[in-house]
Amino acid sequence: MTKSQITNSRVYIAQIPEGVAPNKSHFRTVTTTEDKPELQEGSIFVKNILFSLDPYIRHDFAEGAKEAEVIGFGFSKVLESKNPKFHVGSSYFFGTLPWSSYSVLRPQDLGETFNIDSIDKDVPLSAYSGILGASGLTVWDSINRVADLKKGETIYISSAAGTLGQLAGQIAKRKGLRVIGSAGTDEKVAYLKNQLGFDAAFNYKTQDKREALTAAVGPQGLDVYYDLVFDNTVEIALDLFNPHGRVVTVGLLAGHKGGELASPKNIVHLLLKQIRWEGYTVFEHFDQFENFWKEVTPLIKSGEFKYTESVVDGGVEDIAETYLRFLEGAYQGKVSLKFSDF
């Protein structure tokens, strides 16, 4: 290999997982030695440092995506630049990035970048891939804009120990709600109750979901279901709702694993109990980052808001397997894969 060459590994979609959870056979990692790219005006050449592992990556497996590179959120370091906004040596917080060791990013790829200068250096950079990144903004904005939480109400959060769930629970607690969560291991359930101050939590894998949720909600009834799963758990929530209950559907975890999506038989409760069911996606709301950081960063720094994250060390060849383990719930909190130090 000469000085003008690099070794680059890239992850491709080898097969589309149709109706099943993705497995190793759906990914292919290819490593090549290649010449450093010639940059066009406005482009940059970056070394990727950390990838945020997010369930939505499953959407990359859309029909027709076979042989495409897998795309996710990540941090990079600029090695060469023909763009005045990005300087060699600086890192930046970036929206989307292919799963590879190095990438060339053209002006049209740089739409959702956040320069590192605008973030708080007292917080670990990895937090900006999770609780202070797009995931945190999603929770903060969907709760403020859609959920309409009122003091004294009861909220139930599915996948409560995940990246979004843990922040949703703490914001709801701070607003004076009674907070119930579910997660897939006893360790996560204990974390919700003992560390995050949830009023009740249960293991949705080992307990009967209807019985456990009904017992946790009790005679007070349910007011808000913060839905990160989009399966038929919503049917239980509809039965337990008080009048004017709200379902805020933000996640699709059941779908990411090829599972059946919500099709509640008791949807008539929408009318009978005057329930509002609203979906939310963050992509139209990135202009809210500054407001979100202003309010939430001090709460993270003071320790009032807690979060757990799992930063896994590895290389591009480990991303697919780490992602699959993440989808199975093998890690605690926000999960990212770090290739090298920042």
Ligand X SMILES: NC(=O)c1ccc[n+]([C@@H]2O[C@H](COP(=O)([O-])OP(=O)(O)OC[C@H]3O[C@@H](n4cnc5c(N)ncnc54)[C@H](OP(=O)(O)O)[C@@H]3O)[C@@H](O)[C@H]2O)c1
Task: For the segment 78-107, give every residue that binds ligand X (CB under 6 A).
Answer: none
One-letter amino acid of 144: N
158 binds ligand X (CB under 6 A): yes
Give the side-chain half-sphere CA count within 13 A for 243. 1
Among 341, 290, 326, smallest CA distance to 72 is for 326
Of these, 46, 131, 180, 252, which contacts ligand X (CB under 6 A)?
252
> Which of the ranges 192-200, 213-221, 235-243, 248-256 carries the binding residues for ligand X, by CB under 6 A?
248-256
In the stretch 121-150, what mask flags binding to ligand X with x, by CB under 6 A?
A: --------------x--x------------
Among 30, 44, 31, smallest CA distance to 5 is for 31
Of these, 44, 97, 250, 275, which contacts ligand X (CB under 6 A)?
250
Please give the size of the binding site for ligand X, defined by CB under 6 A. Answer: 30
Of these, 49, 65, 104, 282, which contacts ligand X (CB under 6 A)?
282
CB environment 75-92: b (16+ within 10 A), e (fewer): bbbbebbebeebeeeebb
56 binds ligand X (CB under 6 A): yes
Q: How far apart are CA 281 and CA 221, in angstroms?
A: 27
Among 245, 255, 3, 296, smallest CA distance to 139 is for 296
46 binds ligand X (CB under 6 A): no
Give the side-chain half-sphere CA count within 13 A for 82. 12
Of these, 183, 224, 237, 247, which contacts ligand X (CB under 6 A)?
183
Residue nearest to ligand X (CB): 162
Task: Enter the tokens of residue 218.
Answer: 């009790």
The residue ranges that bind ligand X (CB under 6 A) are: 54-56, 135, 138, 158-159, 161-165, 183-185, 188, 228-229, 250-254, 256-257, 259, 280-282, 329
